[in-house]
Amino acid sequence: MSELNLILLGPPGSGKGTQGERLQDDFRLPYYATGDILRAAVRDGTELGETAKEFMDRGDLVPDEVIIGVIGERVEAPDAADGFILDGFPRTVGQAEALGAEMDELGRGVTAVVLFDVDDDEVVRRLGGRRTCVKNGHIFHVEFDPPKHEGVCDICGSRLIVRDDDKPDVIRNRLDQYHEKTKPLVSYYSDQGLLKRVDGKLEPEEVGNRIRALLATLKMEEEL
């Protein structure tokens, strides 16, 4: 494929970050997860972090004008010239329109939008058991993907924590925000012929295999 500009779309806890880590290894493309970028900004006490924190703590989306510039800069950077993987952006129609306008300006386009289909009950189960590495954001689950040593990241040895926004009332609000503001992107990208659905309830390994298979099909179609 000439370039791979991929968007991972889905409700909180649907497995975007889990698959994003794997795809990044497979394709050697820059991976931009807006949640990780914002959490790092909060940790570092930057102006972006200070603005974002109150929204994130409540489970609300940060305003479009705050996040659009953050991703815009990265998409235009030289290391994203062969493509990129976006996780958690766009999350509103306004963000999708801004990304589309920027891609047009650069003479590029979105290759595909992978939608992780997972219902709300499964989201609550997953986020309740998620453990995240404090340093690099590596993801585990106490039941579905437990670390070898409790509380310690298998990959970098950092401490594993429960994210502040993985508390039950915040999870509920994040789901409400998803249904109200992000779900309209399903028809937005479907109308553009870019949406590819994946059953996010399958085992992580199988979800990864299906994404790789659909990307291989896209590559074959491009070569025809």
- Catalytic residue positions? 16, 91, 130, 163, 174
- Which of residues 83 and 138 has its CB atom nearest to ligand AP5 in the complex? 138
* Site mask for ligand AP5 (CB under 6 A), range 76-115, x = bound: ------------xx-x---x--------------------
Measured at CB, which residue is nearest to ligand AP5? 35
* Site mask for ligand AP5 (CB under 6 A), range 199-218, x = bound: ---xxx--x-----------
- Which of residues 45 and 220 has its CB atom nearest to ligand AP5 in the complex? 45
Residues paired with 134 in a beta bridge: none
Provide the pairing of β-strand 4-9 with 112-117. parallel
CA distances for 26 relative to 80, 110, 138, 163, angstroms: 16, 19, 16, 27
Q: How far is the CB of 202 from ligand AP5 (least distance, A)?
A: 6
Which one of residues 34, 41, 48, 153 is an interface residue with ligand AP5 (CB under 6 A)?
34
Residue 48 binds ligand AP5 (CB under 6 A): no
- Answer whether 99's CB lies under 8 Å from 75's CB: yes
Residues paired with 145 in a beta bridge: 141
Residues in the chain: 224
- As given in the structure block, the two tokens for residue 47 are 């102006």
User: Which letter, b or e, does each residue of 171-206 get, where b requires 16 or more Cβ atoms within 10 Å of its Cβ?
Assistant: beebbebbeebbeebbebbeeeeebbbbebeeebee
- Which of residues 83 and 174 has its CB atom nearest to ligand AP5 in the complex? 174
* Site mask for ligand AP5 (CB under 6 A), range 151-170, x = bound: --------------x-----
- Which of residues 83 and 88 has its CB atom nearest to ligand AP5 in the complex? 88
Site residues for ligand AP5 per CB under 6 A? 10, 12-18, 34-35, 38, 55-56, 59-62, 67, 88-89, 91, 95, 126, 129-130, 139-141, 144-145, 165, 174, 202-204, 207
